Every structure is written in structure tokens, then in C-alpha cells.
Structure 1
């Protein structure tokens, strides 16, 4: 079982244009779609599509329109009642795969709702292999909330506690790295730079590996750094690995990082070594980038080309 947590889910509306976006102009859309979004939800969708046992935990009111969209996907979920509704995000993509996102803030949960969410996460973690804490925190939630959840899960389940992966940014990621020692973090290059300072452009892979090595194993168990068209870098206590992206026609980059994390978890959960895990992450991320909007890859969507993995 892999449990994913999405504290700030979003109703994702994707608009596909047949020409580049022109700010200030009136343009016709080629198509539109609506999906139940949020980073943890996306990870769970990829896992479920691959046949893995996944459970999504999220806050959701009974009358939220998000519930109908999520229910149509038949994704196993454990919802925690809250009073506010999920936010709505708008994604605009053009034929070249250039993506523009407008992310609205979510509702502010009460203290009692946050307590209920933490309790639900701890309960869902029983017997799980991984708990994935993914995405932004809603307004008003303390920056160290993910770190608190990690502590609560480990305190409750002790030696039987699942591994914890964190895909977050900014102060939430910094708090986890500083105090909670997660088993895995999955930053992209911008999020890694928030922890360390700007990455040089001349050799992004080497820079990502060098910075990740300052975190692993002292502050995190492993770091999977996604680098877009440059591929991905995985740093563990035993070494560092870089995977190259297979030839990909990019249609939308939304959800590519979430799919990469799911690909890593799928390989790790079936006994894959680090090279296999970073290759699976890169394959799933590339597949997501080749699909429109927030569509997540199914096994049939994965590129069949070999993924070149180099030990650094």
C-alpha cells in the first residue's frame, strides 16, 4: 500500500489552444477538460493505473463539486470532512507544449480540521510501505505541518512506520529537511535552488547531484531531483545516478513531476535498485509530458525506448 496525502486539492480545468497564448487577446480554445487534481492525487492516479495498491487521503466537504469528479475516477480515497471547498486551477497549453498555470488559493482549514487530517494520515499509514506528502499547504497551515505529520506517523507506528516521501516547495520543504529527515524528497531544480541557492546552467545534472549530496544522508534518506528535459538525478546514501529523457513530444508538463515520483515508487516497491528507480521515474515523467492537460500516464503510454542511466 502507498498512501498519498493532498492537503490542497484542486479542480483542474485545462484549456488547450491551437495557437500560442496571446496575452490580452481573445482566443478560441481547441478543447477543455476537468480533472480532480493535486500532487498527491496525481501520484495516486498513476499508481492505481499501474495496478498498485494506493490510497489517497484528502480534505473534502460533502457538497464540494470535486467529489463528483474524483468519484468518477474510482480512485480509492479517504476523505476528511471540512467546511471549505477545493480550489480551482486553470492550465492553458499550446501546440508546442508551452504551459501557463493559474493556481488559486485553497480554503483555510480550522485547527480542529488540521488535527483530524493528521489523525487520518496516521491511521491510513498502518501497514503502508510509503506515505507521500505532496503539494502546497493551504492558506493558514503552519510551514512545519508536514514535519509534524512525519513525527506523528513515526511516533505511532515505531519500527513498523512506513517510509515517507515529500514533494513540496518553499518553507514547507525547508522545514521537513531541517527537522524531519524524510526518506525521500522530490524537488525539481527550482525547488532544490530554494534550499541551496541558484543552480548553474552549464551543468545542471552535476550541480543537482552535488547539492543533493549535501542533504543525503545527513538530512534526507534520498533525493530524486527532476530536471525537465535534462532528465533526473537520484542521490542515495550509496551513490548518485542520472537518467536521460527519451525522445518526447511535449504536450503539457503539468503532472510530469508527480508521475516521475509515482514511477520511482512503483520501481522501488517491486525491488528495483536505484538505477531502475530513476529510470522508471524518468520514463513516467516523460510519458506525462507527452499527454494533454493533467492526464496521467497509464502503462500503455510509457515510452519504450531505453532510458540511459549513468552512475555519477
Structure 2
């Protein structure tokens, strides 16, 4: 079982448009509302592929109740922790070429008592878990080292921890020794102070995260695929996207696929890329099901350090 923790969940509204034209009246082609937050998306991707997961989710206000209702409708096993503030709402404008413009609310602060209640909920459920995924942005006012503290507590309990976060929270968590971190290109550059323009830079920055204390590093690099550093070995893999629709949740699907495949080596990287690529072809933050996933299109091999990256993540 994979337990996910999302400290800053959301309601995610995705609107598909022909083109983003600032200052104009834009007609929406479609719109959908999904439960959101990185850990929530990991649980949704696992459920879509019949893998047991439980999501720990703080919630508050009308938006929070709506979030819990949506998760219940999807059949997500969850521990919903009530908080005083209101759950945030996010909006994504998705263009036909896969370009996504996101407007994310900051979220609501969590008190020290609420944070402790959430941590205890995770520890109480984690005795049956193979992994705990601590994932997503932090709400305003929450200390940047909160994931680091949680990593230490979970590690002391013998629990494997995967961290997917950004900003100062990422290097702080890496220093706490998580079994896995999954940064994207931008997060990797910020956490390590490395300018990333080629695969060699990705490898160098990932090694810095390992030197800080992280175990495995799974670095996603957008259209250039992903790089995996584990047990002294390095793999690079990629998978073509036939018709990109939305990048929202693709990294979360990638992490879910990696964990679902055992989080070890080339096979897990293939699964990660197949799930992440399938998510890019889905509307909004819909997660891919088994029929959407094409492992046969994934190519994995040794990285070419000189290969330039095509675009930002």
C-alpha cells in the first residue's frame, strides 16, 4: 500500500481553450473539475491502475467538503483531517498544443496543532504502507522544513519516504535522507543552484541532491523524458506524446508509476514514463488507466551527457 500526504490540496478546474489571448473574451471548448494536489493525484493514478493507496488530506470550508466529495466519488481511500481554513481552488487554461497556464491559489495556513494531527494520521496509517509520499507545495506560514521533519519521523518508524516538492522545502527534505526525491527540471535547478541546459547538467544536479542525503533521484525533464540515479547507476528514458492535452498531474502519474513498479531500476523507469506520458494525453488532471498506458513506446538507455534539453519542464 502507498500512503500519500498532501498538505496543500485543491479543487482543480481545467478549461480547454483554442489560444490564450490576454485581455480578450475567450470561449471555453470544455471544462472539468478534479480533486487536486500532488499527493492526491498520485493516489488517483494508483487507484486508476488498481493499486491500493490511501490519501491523507487536510480539508476545510465549502471547497474542502467538495474536494472530499469528489475523492469519495472516485473511490479514493482517504483520511480526511478537518482544518479551520478553506481548501484552495486552482485554474488551468489548456491550449491544443499541450501548453498549460496555471493560476494557483496559495492555500490556507495550517496551525502547529493541525500539522501534528496530520502527521499523527500518517503515522497511524503507515504501519501497513510500503511507501509514504510527501508531495506538493506548502501552505502559507508552514515551515519550509516540515517535510524534513516528517521524513525523519517516518524513517525512524522504518517507512520508505518519497518527496516531491519545490523551493527551499526540497533541499531541506533531501538532507533528511528520504529514499526517493522526484524533482522536475526547474525544481532541480533551484534546489542545487545548477544551470540546467543538457542531460549532463541534470545528472550533476541530481548527484548534488544525493550528496545532500537523498537516496534515489528520479528527475523529470519534460519532453526530454526522465533521468534516474539509483545505486550507482544512471538511466535516461523518454516516450513520445502523440497528442498532448494537459501537463497537469503528469509528474504525479510518473511518480505513481515508478512506485507501482517497485521503485527499482529500468523497469520502474519504463513504468514511470509510460504513466506520465499517458497523463499528458488526458484532459485536465485525469489519471491514466491501464488501457491508456503504452510501455512499448518507452525507450531507456545510458544518458548522453552532451544532449541539450529542448525546453523548460
Unaligned stretches of 5+ residues in structure 1: none
1:186-212 Cα distance to aligned partner (Å, 9 max, x none): 0000000012224342x2x22211221
Find the counterpart in structure 1 of residue 307 from structure 2. none
- The 8 Å contact of residues 239 and 311 in structure 1, kept in 2 or not, is answered as no
Do structure 1's residue 199 and structure 2's residue 208 form an aligned pair?
A: no
Match of 2:98, SS state, is: coil
- The 8 Å contact of residues 13 and 91 in structure 2, kept in 1 or not, is answered as yes
Do structure 1's residue 255 and structure 2's residue 249 form an aligned pair?
A: yes
Aligned length: 301
Cα distance in structure 1, aligned partners of 2:173 and 2:249? 22
Cα distance in structure 2, aligned partners of 1:110 and 1:219? 28
- The 8 Å contact of residues 234 and 278 in structure 1, kept in 2 or not, is answered as yes
Runs of 4+ in 1 over 4 A off after TM superposition: none
Do structure 1's residue 230 and structure 2's residue 224 form an aligned pair?
A: yes
Find the counterpart in structure 1 of residue 8 from structure 2. 8
Cα distance in structure 2, aligned partners of 1:61 and 1:96? 35
Which of 184, 194, 197 does residue 180 from structure 2 map onto? 184
- The 8 Å contact of residues 189 and 199 in structure 1, kept in 2 or not, is answered as no
Cα distance in structure 1, aligned partners of 2:196 and 2:89? 34
Match of 1:100, SS state, is: strand
Matches within 5 A, 1:52-91: 52-61=51-60, 64-91=65-92
Matches within 5 A, 1:106-185: 106-155=107-156, 157=157, 161-178=158-175, 180-185=176-181
Match of 1:280, SS state, is: helix
- The 8 Å contact of residues 14 and 293 in structure 1, kept in 2 or not, is answered as yes
Find the counterpart in structure 2 of residue 305 from structure 1. 296
Structure 1 pair 207–248 and aligned structure 2 pair: CA distance change class (3 A): farther
Find the counterpart in structure 2 of residue 101 from structure 1. 102
1:52-100 Cα distance to aligned partner (Å, 9 max, x none): 1100001124752222222211100011121112100000011111110
Structure 1 pair 192–76 and aligned structure 2 pair: CA distance change class (3 A): same
Cα distance in structure 1, aligned partners of 2:265 and 2:183? 17
Cα distance in structure 1, aligned partners of 2:60 and 2:19? 37
Structure 1 pair 59–142 and aligned structure 2 pair: CA distance change class (3 A): same
- The 8 Å contact of residues 62 and 81 in structure 1, kept in 2 or not, is answered as no
Cα distance in structure 2, aligned partners of 1:60 and 1:195? 29
Cα distance in structure 2, aligned partners of 1:200 and 1:104? 28
Could you tell me how far 1:276 is from its partner in structure 2? 0.8
- The 8 Å contact of residues 9 and 87 in structure 1, kept in 2 or not, is answered as yes
Could you tell me how far 1:125 is from its partner in structure 2? 1.2
Match of 1:268, SS state, is: coil
Could you tell me how far 1:181 is from its partner in structure 2? 0.7
Q: Which moved more, 1:146-155 or 1:99-108?
A: 146-155
Find the counterpart in structure 2 of residue 278 from structure 1. 269
Could you tell me how far 1:173 is from its partner in structure 2? 0.7
- The 8 Å contact of residues 154 and 161 in structure 2, kept in 1 or not, is answered as no
Match of 2:183, SS state, is: coil
Cα distance in structure 1, aligned partners of 2:212 and 2:88? 36
TM-score by length of 1: 0.92
TM-score by length of 2: 0.92
Match of 1:143, SS state, is: coil
- The 8 Å contact of residues 189 and 196 in structure 2, kept in 1 or not, is answered as no
Find the counterpart in structure 2 of residue 220 from structure 1. 214
Could you tell me how far 1:218 is from its partner in structure 2? 5.5
Unaligned stretches of 5+ residues in structure 2: 304-313
Find the counterpart in structure 2 of residue 27 from structure 1. 26
Cα distance in structure 2, aligned partners of 1:247 and 1:80? 37
Match of 1:30, SS state, is: strand
Could you tell me how far 1:215 is from its partner in structure 2? 2.9
Cα distance in structure 1, aligned partners of 2:137 and 2:196? 26
